[in-house]
Amino acid sequence: MAYIYETKNFLVESFETPHITRTDGGHIKILPKVSIKNRTEMSPALAIEFIRLTMIIGESFEVAMNNRGIKIIRLNYQDMGNWAFKSGKEPIFHMHIYGRAKDAKYQAYQEAVNLPDRSTGFYKDFEALNEDDIQEIQKQISFVLKQEKYDLKNWGLSF
């Protein structure tokens, strides 16, 4: 995982072995710093922070990848954790944000994301976001955070 951004309660990371290769749009994960099984275990304040963060990251991710020449048509936001059951573990809540690019080769934007088991080899040639992508996303986050709609007071948050 490569670090992208962090808040008081959440981490934002890029995958080294993504579900969507960078040229198909890329893949980002948001996870809480405390282990919870699903979103229903969040406090109201944590849920508000989480939704605000998904919006900030989504907006920043889409602009950044378009700036990097990956023509994002749409983003998909998915709560995940099911694969933990395969190894006898409890799921840990996290969200994946998938960029869906116009010229996607493996994961066509018009279709649902294809998520076969890792053992199939489906992802073997997938490329993670690179350092320049991550720096552009971070740059866009700094711009997005200046927007009035993301001001903490508008969300009833204070950090």
Q: Residue with structure tokens 């711009």?
A: 143
Q: What is the CATH number of the domain that holds 46?
A: 3.30.428.10
Q: Which domain holds residue 67?
A: 2-109+117-152
Whether pTM > 0.75 for this model: the answer is: yes
- Asked whether residue 20 is domain-assigned, the answer is yes
- Asked whether residue 91 is domain-assigned, the answer is yes
The dihedrals phi and psi of 140, each to the nearest 5 degrees, come to: -65, -35
Reduced to 3 states, what is the DSSP secondary structure of residue 157?
A: coil
- Asked whether residue 157 is domain-assigned, the answer is no
- Asked whether residue 46 is domain-assigned, the answer is yes
- Asked whether residue 158 is domain-assigned, the answer is no
Q: Count how many domains the chain has.
A: 1
Mean pLDDT of successive 10-residue stretches along the chain, which has 159 residues? 92 94 97 92 95 98 98 94 75 93 96 92 96 98 97 86
- Asked whether residue 159 is domain-assigned, the answer is no
